Amino acid sequence: MTSKSSFSQSLEIIFPEHCNHYGTLFGGQALQLLSKTAFVVATQFARKSVVMAAVNGVQFLQPIPQGSTLHLRGWITRLGASSMTVCVHGLFNQPATAPELALKALFEMVAVDAQGKPEAIDPSFCDGVNTQ
């Protein structure tokens, strides 16, 4: 049996152009990186085009300094007929330090057809995803 991936991770380096006047990751850039991760997770899982319907519970837990490595991890926590909830965490570290949780958000993503209308997700390969 084939299994669909409901998890994805990526790494980003925080460069000066991503930072605010305090030398830490700008909140708008953080949201962009979180939403990109949610999009990748949802697209890989649904194997369809997806759009973002909502973002909930965005938390900026601590500043992420320039030069840090940001580890973005996303996974599906709920699957509906055409929608899914994607949880994304951002952990950062600098050389010789352990990763620390800095960002959290929940994204509601919806699979859509060519006309942008909701389209059913095939649940036949759900690997431990909470379906409703």
**What average pLDDT does range 17-41 have in this prediction?**
97
Q: Give the chain's count of helices (H) and strands (E).
A: 1, 5
What one-character DSSP code corresponds to residue 58? Answer: E
Element at 69 (helix H, strand E): strand 69-79
In the DSSP assignment, the letter for residue 125 is G
Over residues 34-43, the pLDDT tens digits come to 999 999 999 9
Residue 82 CA to residue 113 CA, distance in Å, equals 10
pLDDT of 126 strictly over 70 = no
Count of CB atoms situated within 10 Å of the CB of 54: 11
Whole-prediction pTM value?
Answer: 0.89
For residue 7 the two structure tokens come to 């998890």
> Which whole-number Å values give the CA distances from 27 to 20, 105, 108, 123, 129, in the listed order?
8, 13, 20, 35, 30
Tens digits of residue pLDDT in 37-85 = 999 999 999 999 999 999 999 999 999 999 999 999 999 999 999 999 9
Q: Which residue has the higher pLDDT, 128 or 41?
A: 41
